[in-house]
Copies of this chain bind each other. A is one copy, B any other.
Amino acid sequence: MIKDTSESGKGKQQLLIKDIPEVQENSFLIRNTPVMQEHIQRKGRNNTLENQTAGTERNLTWHEMDITRAYREEQMGQKAAVIWFTGLSGSGKSTLANAFEQYLAAKGKHTMLLDGDNVRLGLNRDLGFSEKDRIENIRRIAETAKLMNDAGLIVLTSFISPFLRDRQTARQIIGDCFMEVYVSTPLEECERRDVKGLYQAARKGEIAEFTGITSAYEAPLQPQAVIDTSSRSIEACVAQLAAALGY
């Protein structure tokens, strides 16, 4: 006895070929972009609909085209990417990610920021801070970022993500468009800021496995950018990052 795997969608192409009507060419502007032409050529001419009706019902403004990642990127006028900010608590990851998102938005880019605020209280609300849950936390963030890439978006993620292996997993899931930004603000400066009072608590032994104090932070080996926020304005940091990532 096998389990119902119908949600896995393995038969979707079959269904598409069976049910999608014939292509009507040259009737919508969007078809004339290079990406669309490619799609049209790829899809071919052999689609027919069993119960197809003709005439008035065909006078619509949409037609057969795959809405792919390439299509959505073209539509948004950008290449999808993930900009993965990693660094100690208090290093300025979220500040920098927010500021860089503002910079990108000002350039007309379509972005999304994933951070503790919107992930830990939603998608990953069932996860705690055990090693297993920490790994799953990063995996889901990476998978979600990838889906957003498929939607054409430039995704910024802001998580301590202290371990090389977890970030490597994220890179494997996301692929070539994964860009790692190491917010390298020294521990002393992070601890001096201590905006959440967490370092003080960690020094008192009130927090278990606090990154930088009682748990390791593994710095990236080949990050696309290294930004130290301790001695410069946020604008200078954003300018450095924009240059490093080519935005």
> Which residues of A come within 8 Å of B, CB atoms?
1-12, 14-16, 18-21, 28, 30, 49, 51-53, 57-58, 60-65, 67, 71-72, 75-76, 89-90, 92, 94-95, 98-99, 101-108, 110-123, 126, 128-129, 136-137, 140, 143-144, 146-148, 150-153, 158-160, 173, 193, 195-196, 198, 201-202, 205-211, 229-236, 238-239
Contacts and interface: CB of A to CB of B under 8 A. Distances in A.
Contact of A105 (B67, B114, B201): B67
B3 A102 contact: no
Given A7-B159, A8-B120, A60-B239, 5 more contacts: A51-B231, A71-B105, A75-B105, A148-B151, A151-B153
A65 B7 contact: no
Contacts of A193: 18
A36 to B, nearest CB: 10
B110 A205 contact: no
A6 B144 contact: no
B2 A112 contact: no
B195 A15 contact: yes
B232 A147 contact: no
Nearest to A197: B11
Contacts of A207: 1-4
Residue among A116, A147, A231 facing the most chain B CB atoms (10 A cut-off): A147
B238 A62 contact: yes
Given A99-B20, A120-B7, A150-B112, A60 B2 contact: no
Given A4-B210, A239-B57, A62 B102 contact: yes
Residue among A30, A107, A201, A233 facing the most chain B CB atoms (10 A cut-off): A233
Contacts of A75: 105, 108, 110
Contacts of A112: 72, 147-148, 150-151
A220 B48 CA distance: 31
A9 B117 contact: yes
A234 B51 CA distance: 9
Given A103-B61, A147-B118, A232 B6 contact: no
A99 B18 CA distance: 13
B206 A160 contact: no
B95 A19 contact: yes
Contacts of A1: 205-208
